Structure 1
């Protein structure tokens, strides 16, 4: 009987821990304090490596300033954002550096950002930026702030 009780308690503990982990995976706090690097973008018919031959776009959320900043595969950018639960929208990007870039991914990245309506963080810890119900961009963590 003791073995049966221990087994049931062990299973319940594991289930409770997994439920708690899945809840925290969608909390907005998870987007902050991390630099995210793009690993997938929807839409272009050019291979991902062709769009970003030298540098992959990155995004960092500044919670205090309610701005994102990073690079779009070539030039630096920053933009305001609005976050409410998992609803996410980006404003117009502000001043950016003006280097000439290969690949054409820079404009693709900025255009996709304007279309984003929400986000999620999946079980693998990847940040998905979503338009409607369709993930349009996926980012992986590359650095903690």
Structure 2
């Protein structure tokens, strides 16, 4: 009897604790994410993007991301599976030239193969290495 009561409460605890959790993918949707770190360029981050930082927003229904590369707007398809992500080539973008740093952002997006969301930050990865880190911002 005692064992069955313990099993019953353990099962309830598991159901309650698992029922309220969101998947990592669900954390992508809703906010606009603003770049706060990019790996690779030899120029300081603030020098690359002195006025406006690249942003990305995930649309679950359409399977597209939209945003700015700090200068021009872009959109691209993406595919998620577990903690992997692959971005398609950006679709039509506006054509302003703002110094070239915006292209570094889009080129890095093509290399990304994974992601994680921890402590309110979105990390886009190549292998296990964070290549870009984003924070949530209001659109």
**TM-score category, normalised to shorter length:** 0.7 to 0.9
Paired residues, number: 123
Structure-2 change in CA distance of 1:77 and 1:90 (3 Å) = same
The match for 2:128 is 133
CA distance in 2, matches of 1:53, 1:128: 21
1:35 and 1:60 in contact (8 A); partners too: yes
CA distance in 2, matches of 1:26, 1:39: 23
CA distance in 2, matches of 1:24, 1:127: 18
When structure 1 is superposed on structure 2, of 24-33 and 59-68 the one drifting more is: 24-33
The match for 2:137 is 142
Cα deviations across residues 97-138 of structure 1 (Å, max 9, x unaligned)?
011203x3211100110011110011x210000001100000
The match for 2:114 is 118
Structure-2 change in CA distance of 1:26 and 1:133 (3 Å) = farther
CA distance in 1, matches of 2:125, 2:35: 13
CA distance in 1, matches of 2:21, 2:123: 15
CA distance in 2, matches of 1:107, 1:68: 17
CA distance in 2, matches of 1:136, 1:25: 24
Name the TM-score, length of structure 1 as normaliser. Answer: 0.79
Aligned-pair Cα RMSD in Å: 2.0
CA distance in 1, matches of 2:117, 2:27: 8
Q: Which runs of 5+ in 1 are unaligned?
A: 1-15
